[in-house]
């Protein structure tokens, strides 16, 4: 039997209850990783945890608001208490936010989109780096970006701003962690059949899109790579 490429490692995946997060959790479970899974909905997490457990993974599944620093600290602390290490972080949690002209966006909707999509990855990455990866001087951070993180789209103002910010933040983390043996990546899954995609493009035929499972292999490849850091 072939060795599992992530055996002995622990991965924290945000937004793991559905879509790409769920698919990555299952792919990592099959490759032997222990898992710390979080999302906003405990029921969805419990279903994913059960599937990952059936694949042989040890799983800690906790509902968590990634935009809350206290919730993030508790999540990471519980993960380290359970597994003793965090080797891989996948910042996948995100929301689409409001659509329409940027001049018409309400301040609270702007702030909530950035809180989840940009502040969330900042808080989780900061906590994982300080509590785990910098201590061991190794690790892999994968931030889920979008084509909107490099090219703006009319009507997607808050989402676009959050993803541009994520790209820039990832580059800063990559530079600052370069000498510590920690790799930081951004990945653009492109058009993938998720609930968020369906909400953004309700007239689109989902049969024409990649499935989340098809995207998950790229996350496995990045997690086990020892190549240069990307952003």
User: Which helix or strand (DSSP H or E) is residue 63 part of?
Assistant: strand 59-63
Q: Hunting for tokens 């689109």 — which residue is that?
A: 204
> How far is residue 59's CA from residue 64's CA, in Å, rounded to a whole number?
15
Beta bridge partners, 62, equal 38
Least confident of 99-103, 118-122, 151-155, 164-168: 151-155
Determine the angle formed by the axes of helices 107-114 and 157-177, rounding to 10 degrees: 30
> How does 105-120 read in b/e, with b if 16+ C-beta sit within 10 Å?
beeebbebbbbbbbbb
pTM: 0.92
Q: Does the pLDDT value for residue 191 go beyond 80?
A: no
Sign for the CA dihedral angle at 22, 176, 221, 136 comes to: negative
End-to-end CA distance of the chain: 35
Q: Does the pLDDT value for residue 109 go beyond 50?
A: yes
Closest CA to 114 of 171, 76, 77, 66: 66
Q: Show the tokens assigned to 137.
A: 């001087």
**What pLDDT was estimated at residue 226?**
52
> How far is residue 130's CA from residue 128's CA, in Å, rounded to a whole number?
6
Per-residue model confidence as pLDDT tens digits over 125-181: 999 999 999 999 999 999 999 877 787 888 889 999 999 999 999 999 999 999 999
**What pLDDT was estimated at residue 231?**
37
How many residues belong to the chain? 231
> How far is residue 85's CA from residue 203's CA, in Å, rounded to a whole number?
44
Q: Calculate the average pLDDT of the chain.
A: 91
**What pLDDT was estimated at residue 204?**
72
Per-residue model confidence as pLDDT tens digits over 54-92: 999 999 999 999 999 999 999 999 999 999 999 999 999
% of the chain residues with pLDDT over 70: 93
Strands 34-39 and 10-14, by their bridges, are parallel
CA dihedral of 40, 43, 48, 50, whole degrees rounded to 10: 140
Question: Is CATH 3.40.190.10 the classification given to domain 10-222?
Answer: no
Query: Given strand 10-14, what is the order of strands in its sheet?
Result: 59-63, 34-39, 10-14, 88-91, 139-144, 182-187
Q: Are 104 and 146 in contact (CB under 8 A)?
A: no
Which residues are catalytically annotated?
159
Q: Show the tokens assigned to 201.
A: 């493009």
């Amino acid at each position: 039997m072939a060795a599992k490429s992530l055996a002995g490692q622990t991965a924290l995946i945000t937004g793991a209850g559905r879509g790409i997060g769920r698919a990555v959790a299952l792919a990592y479970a099959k490759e032997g990783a222990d898992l710390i899974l979080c999302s906003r909905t405990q029921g969805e997490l419990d279903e994913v945890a059960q599937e990952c457990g059936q694949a042989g993974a040890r799983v800690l599944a906790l509902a968590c608001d990634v935009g809350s620093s206290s919730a993030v600290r508790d999540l990471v602390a519980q993960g380290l208490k359970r597994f003793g290490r965090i080797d891989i972080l996948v910042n996948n949690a995100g929301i689409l936010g409001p659509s329409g002209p940027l001049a018409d966006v309400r301040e609270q909707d702007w702030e909530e989109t950035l809180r989840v999509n940009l502040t969330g990855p900042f808080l989780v990455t900061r906590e994982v780096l300080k509590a785990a990866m910098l201590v061991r001087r190794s690790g892999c951070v994968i931030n889920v970006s979008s084509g909107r993180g490099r090219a703006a789209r009319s009507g997607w103002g808050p989402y676009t701003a959050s993803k541009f910010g994520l790209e820039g933040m990832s580059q800063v983390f990559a530079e600052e962690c370069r000498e510590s043996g920690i790799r930081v990546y951004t990945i653009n899954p492109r058009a993938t059949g998720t609930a968020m995609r369906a909400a953004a493009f309700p007239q689109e035929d989902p049969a024409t899109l990649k499935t989340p499972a098809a995207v998950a292999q790229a996350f496995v490849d990045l997690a086990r790579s020892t190549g240069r850091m990307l952003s």
